[in-house]
Amino acid sequence: MSKYYFVADIHLGLKTDDPADRERRFIAFLDSLGNDTGGLFLLGDIFDFWYEYKYVIPRGHTRTLGALARVRDRGIPVHFFAGNHDLWTFGYLEQELGMQIHRDELYINLEGKDFLLAHGHRMGRHPFKNRFLNGMFHNKFLQILFSCLHPRWAFFLAQAWSTHNGKQRPVSYKFRQEEEPVYKYAASYPCPVDYCIVGHLHTSVRCPLPRGGELIVLEDWLSVGPAGTVRGDIGIFGRAEKGEIEIIKAPVMIHLD
Ligand SMILES: [Mn+2]
């Protein structure tokens, strides 16, 4: 049986805690994937801000892109889900790195189990602000306007937006169980779901769904927790008991075989 890996919210490039360490941990993870890896699912906000221009991509992330290229060159499928921080990819990640880009949720059967995968920011959310912002972010005309800005200013604005977001985010998010939009969405999904896996909430959750199956929210990799505990969930399917998902913490894996 192949193994499948799920991660979310690494927010590479965000200047909090130790950004270089975060990148190193992510690369160590990518380099540790075994030859029996059936797929790597990057469930959104891998980059804190990603914006491609027609002929140019942003500086930085060199080692990450190289490590992702190595994964692809070994023939491992990589699925990149556009999060609310890194949805502005217009061909580079597909053409240069051969990743499969998903802008919406993905419903997929892996080794006999039904998976519903997404970043999660658009699942079951109706507040005006969220729809408005997402509408703006996905709007082609506004994207063209934004790409006309000099990158010096475009990236300055993006960084200001990200910092503002970070300040608004609670230190640890309290999952609201049945009240959570992503829970409601997964619970009423029209197809059978064995596992719904998302990120976005920056917390670690495993929660049974009313019709069977499980909702898994992956913790972000943003900071190292108190007293040496570490943050950063990696979901692994195919390593534990047949058909079960195991969650491990990012930096402790050296050999995932
Ligand atoms: Mn997010």
pLDDT at residue 148 above 70? yes
Average pLDDT, whole number, for the chain?
A: 87
Ligand 1 center to residue 226 CA distance, Å?
23
CATH no., domain 3-252: 3.60.21.10
Report the range of poorest mean pLDDT among 8-22, 98-112, 168-182: 168-182
Q: Cβ distance 194 to 116 under 8 Å? A: no
Which percentage of the chain shows pLDDT scores above 70? 88
Phi, psi of 6 (to 5 degrees): -130, 125
Q: pTM of this prediction?
A: 0.89
Whether the predicted pLDDT of 255 surpasses 60: no
Query: What average pLDDT does this structure show over 25-32?
Result: 94
Residue 244: both structure tokens together: 């079960």
Does 107 have pLDDT greater than 80? yes
Distance CA 238, CA 115 (A): 13
Predicted confidence band at 130 (pLDDT cuts at 50, 70, 90)? low
Expressed in angstroms and rounded, the spacing between residue 205 Cα and the centre of ligand 1 is 15
**Cα of 221 to ligand 1 centre, how many Å?**
12
Residue 106 Cα to ligand 1 midpoint, Å, equals: 17
Instruction: pLDDT band for 18, please (50, 70, 90 cuts).
Output: confident
CA 8 to mean position of chain CA atoms:
3
Q: Does 125 or 204 have the greater pLDDT score? A: 204
Mean pLDDT, residues 78-84: 95
CA of 196 to the centre of ligand 1 (A): 16
CA 242 – ligand 1 centroid, Å: 30
Residues 181-188: contacts with CB within 8 Å, 24+ apart? Answer: 181/123, 181/124, 181/125, 181/126, 182/120, 182/123, 182/124, 182/215, 182/217, 183/124, 183/207, 183/209, 183/215, 184/124, 185/123, 185/124, 186/116, 186/123, 186/213, 186/215, 187/211
Q: How far is the CA of 84 from the centre of ligand 1 (A)?
A: 5
- If you measure from the C-alpha of residue 188 to the centroid of ligand 1, how many angstroms do you get, rounded to a whole number? 22
Q: Looking at this protein, which amino acid is placed at residue 34?
A: G
What is the structure's pLDDT at 161? 79
Q: What is the structure's pLDDT at 131?
A: 60
